[in-house]
Amino acid sequence: MSVPTPHNNAKLGDIAKTVLMPGDPLRAKFIAENFLENPVCFNTVRNMLGFTGTYNGKPISVMGGGMGMPSVGIYTYELYNFYDVENIIRIGSMGAYADSIKLGDLVIAMGACTDSDYVKTFNLPGHYAPICDYGLLRKAVDTADRLGIKTVVGNVISTDVFYSDDPEFNSKWRKMGVLGVEMEAACFYMNAARYGKKALCMCSVSDHIFRNEALSAEERQTGFRDMMKVALEAFA
């Protein structure tokens, strides 16, 4: 039986209860081919590749989500509501603000500030504070500790704008103790809350906004092994 979505040609049952979601579909392919056992591709629509396989014998899926909240909002909504997915763990990249954070560090977003109007779709009578699921957060931190992988847990900013016209945008959020900037967490934290599901955002630091440091495109696609190891060991 097909599921009625124009963005995913998987059938109900093709996708595991837990989905790892990088932004880049090629990173999803890399993870499936290098970390999963017997991966099967379930989606090729718009080249937003998705795969289901096993890790240590347990089923898990990995699927690209695209860049920005409009894209991730669509894919996470459909996974939660059309495919019976319970947990989505974003495994992405972010730009760091904090002086203590280095390239390649693993940041886990306990909360996600945002400049997006996505929350208006829920017609709430006030301001909403998007946060992760505590159970997923604790499991990720405990797993990283067991593996000897350092994590930094705190607040991030999920922005709609990659090229801000405000030259002080990053500095203003940095002053509030925000660890860094990415573009997706707040949106799917809201979707998870609204539909009674679970979400967590883990990001490997790809660049440092205030030190003019950055990983190469190839390193972004293949170099986040610590983050992948934590995600798979914790959630598969």
CA dist list (Å): 44 to 6, 7, 13, 32, 63: 11, 9, 17, 14, 10
Neighbouring residues of 151: CB distance < 8 A, sequence distance ≥ 6: 106, 107, 108, 140, 141, 144, 145, 230
Of the candidates 235, 229, 232, 236, the residue with the CA atom closest to the CA atom of residue 104: 229
Are 204 and 93 in contact, with CB atoms under 8 Å apart?
Answer: yes
CB 130 within 8 A of CB 228: no
**Which residues have a catalytic role annotated?**
207
